[in-house]
Chains A and B, each alone.
Chain A
Amino acid sequence: MVTVIHPNLDQTDAKMNASDVSVFYGDKMAIDNVSIEIPTKYVTAFIGPSGCGKSTFLRTLNRMNDTIPTARVEGTITLDGDDIYRSKMDVVQLRARVGMVFQKPNPFPKSIYDNIAYGPKIHGIAQGKEELDNIVEVSLKRAGLWEEVKDRLTDSGTALSGGQQQRLCIARAIAVDPEVILMDEPCSALDPIATAKIEELIAELSGRYAIVIVTHSMQQAARVSERTAFFHLGKMVEYGRTSDIFTNPVEQRTQDYITGRYG
């Protein structure tokens, strides 16, 4: 079985390219031969039922699965043409270039300022205090949080509301000037207003960064993404323009899932 890739996709620069990627946890195959291009200028959404492998696949894009001892990745994944699984790849550097935002906001138990400044400091991006201040301000502004926190940058990041914490985490990811931002259900712990703010933020960041979002909310995928891939049982079933996937999917399984007939 092969993935149905809609023929009407426009040709666009691929930031990342996965080909024939399979992931195993021990003997169990979690991802079965997935190939996809992650375009630079679009938001790509991964949807699918729980356990379909969409988060596992997302994690292969910045080698987050390396932390799981039994996990094994086959196939190739490239970032700007470079194989990210090659032995000389600097994984810390990779994760700066391919940032990640998680389901639950996970700010460091440090000040708002330090949450943002930490990455640029350890990566040696900022020379001196003034530049660091500037990075913190720009990152918080891009994450739409600056106005809310500019007078209390020394407060703990964990003292913010859930939605603010998540935007802080996005600002933290932005601070190291990544090329790709991976988001694993970034809004599932947030209320609708905080969710709307994150979605607005995704729209603003789109184009500047390649964004990949895993979401359980199909409405959210429909709202924020230009491209959607549907995963099922470890396979990528269908990939196309979001508007086509949600109005006229080709595969019956896609249709059944998005219309609530799955299972």
Chain B
Amino acid sequence: MNDHTVKSFDEDITRLRGLIAEMGGLAELSIQEALDALISGDEKLAAGVVKRDKKIDALETEVDKLAVRIIALRAPMADDLREVIAALKIAGVVERIGDYSKNIAKRIKDIEGRNRFEPLTLLPAMGEIASDMVHDVLSAYASRDPVLAIEVIATDAKVDAFYNSIFRNVVSYMVENPATISTAAQILFIARNLERIGDHATNVAEMVHFAAVGTYPPDEDDS
């Protein structure tokens, strides 16, 4: 892609992309650490995840301000316009992803008997897929790659399948072990949070596709 005649326009766009990449990197790290803390019961690690969310929120505000400034001062057109609009929306979605990780981190102190609680062992695999989706969608954003974006969208089905399987598993565990219902309910919420992270990564992928080629990816249900 050629540079803009006005160099500072390129600098603004580069900075916008940098902020999104930074937000995404933090959100990805938060998912992984929240899951590590979940398994190990490391409350300090969990507290770090909660604290990091503030940083992600601050970055979102920065993206908003910069995007508004670019629209007001540069009147971007065509792919520039799509890039800025996509950045605005992606920042909002990544902020939500950060919230879900924070939500998981906050539940960690409420998980009892983590070594004996079998459904817990299912979560890391699910979390890894969700985390990979976030990682891949940010790579797709960085390289403006619509093909990788579509792959991320396809991966969401795996996260959904995991969620359904965990849901059934935990519910039957609740039936068999009523004493663990409180912890089991927490696990359900965590699985739900991971499932939402997958959905949001899908939303980001759609915006990446839009920014790159100007159209939304074909709806899987339609094809």
On A, residues with C-beta under 8 Å from B are 218-219, 222, 246-249, 254-256, 258-263
Contact = CB atoms under 8 A, between A and B. Distances in A.
Q: SS class of chain A's interface: helix, strand, loop or mixed?
A: helix
B5 A262 contact: yes
Contacts of B81: 246-247
B82 A260 contact: no
A36 B79 CA distance: 26
A233 B51 CA distance: 57
A259 B75 contact: no
Contact of A260 (B1, B9, B214, B215): B9
Given A247-B214, A248-B214, A263 B78 contact: no
9 contacts: A219-B75, A248-B214, A248-B215, A249-B78, A258-B77, A259-B76, A259-B78, A261-B2, A261-B4
A247 B77 CA distance: 6
Given A247-B214, A248-B214, A255 B5 contact: no
Nearest to B210: A248
A148 to B, nearest CB: 30
Interface in B176-223: 214-215
Contacts of B1: 261
Contacts of A247: 77-78, 81-82, 214
Nearest to B214: A248
**Would you list the 3 A-B pairs with minimal beta carbon distance, nearest first?**
A248-B214, A261-B2, A258-B77
B4 A259 contact: yes
B6 A259 contact: no
Contacts of A258: 77-78
